[in-house]
């Protein structure tokens, strides 16, 4: 599947029941030749309304953090979610939804061929690593996904609720940057 075919597949997907309850699919945003691939969980209310990942409060924090390392969505960064459709009421993704939607993310990663994947939050980390380990135990190491170095960090929405952990997420971002330089 090339990029256009993949976009069309996601737009018309009815592989799980989520599509019936959301306004639109949220494919991803950014530079298709990016070195950085950021992966979140699933669209929320604002993302569902606008069709773009991370455009709510968590997205503003993410944009600010990216700016602090001279990055922005669209400039050497691509942002996508594990799920392309909003779960009702922002509930957690279900394992069968993750299983059905993960091939879309996998193909996005294959097409972009990033130098690094930053998995943000438990669902992204667990979906990409096939692990049920905690974020705390996965941070600070270079993992691999389909041959691409992968670094785990906290989800921006978690950081909004746990401000002291922002310094840890900042350390993760610097670690990810260093991993790109070294690979």
Contact residues: ligand URA, CB under 6 A: 40-44, 47, 53-54, 58, 81, 157
Cβ distance to ligand URA smaller for residue 87 or 149? 87
Q: Cα separation of 111 and 37, whole Å?
A: 11
CB of 21 to ligand URA, least distance (A): 16
Q: Which is nearer to ligand URA, 34 or 181 (CB)?
A: 34
* Minimum CB distance to ligand URA smaller for 116 or for 120: 120
DSSP string, 33-74: T-SEEEEES---HHHHHHTSSS-SHHHHHHHHHHHHTT-BTT
- The distance of closest approach from Cβ of residue 9 to ligand URA in the complex, given in angstroms and rounded to an integer, is 19
Which are the contacts of 26, defined by CB distance < 8 A and separation ≥ 6?
43, 47, 48, 51, 52, 53, 81, 84, 85, 86
* Closest separation in Å from C-beta 104 to ligand URA: 14
Using Cβ positions, the residue closest to ligand URA within the complex turns out to be 40
In angstroms, what is the minimal distance from the CB of 53 to ligand URA?
4
Choice between 120 and 148, CB closer to ligand URA = 120
Residues 6+ apart with CB under 8 A from 160: 57, 58, 61
């Amino acid at each position: 599947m090339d990029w256009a075919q993949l976009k069309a597949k996601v737009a018309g997907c009815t592989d799980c029941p989520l599509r019936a309850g959301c306004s639109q699919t949220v494919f991803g945003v950014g530079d298709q030749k990016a070195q950085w691939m950021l992966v979140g969980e699933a669209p929320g209310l604002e993302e569902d309304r606008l069709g773009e990942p991370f455009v709510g409060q968590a997205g503003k924090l993410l944009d600010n953090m990216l700016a602090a390392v001279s990055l922005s969505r669209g400039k050497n960064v691509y942002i996508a979610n594990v799920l392309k459709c909003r779960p009702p009421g922002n509930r957690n993704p279900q394992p069968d939804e993750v299983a059905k939607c993960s091939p879309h993310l996998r193909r996005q990663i294959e097409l972009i061929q990033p130098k690094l994947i930053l998995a943000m939050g438990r669902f992204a980390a667990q979906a990409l690593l096939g692990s049920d380990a905690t974020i705390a135990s996965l941070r600070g190491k270079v993992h691999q996904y389909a041959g691409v170095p992968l670094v785990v960090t906290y989800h921006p929405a978690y950081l909004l609720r746990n401000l002291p952990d922002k310094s840890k997420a900042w350390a993760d971002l610097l670690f990810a940057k260093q991993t790109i330089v070294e690979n």
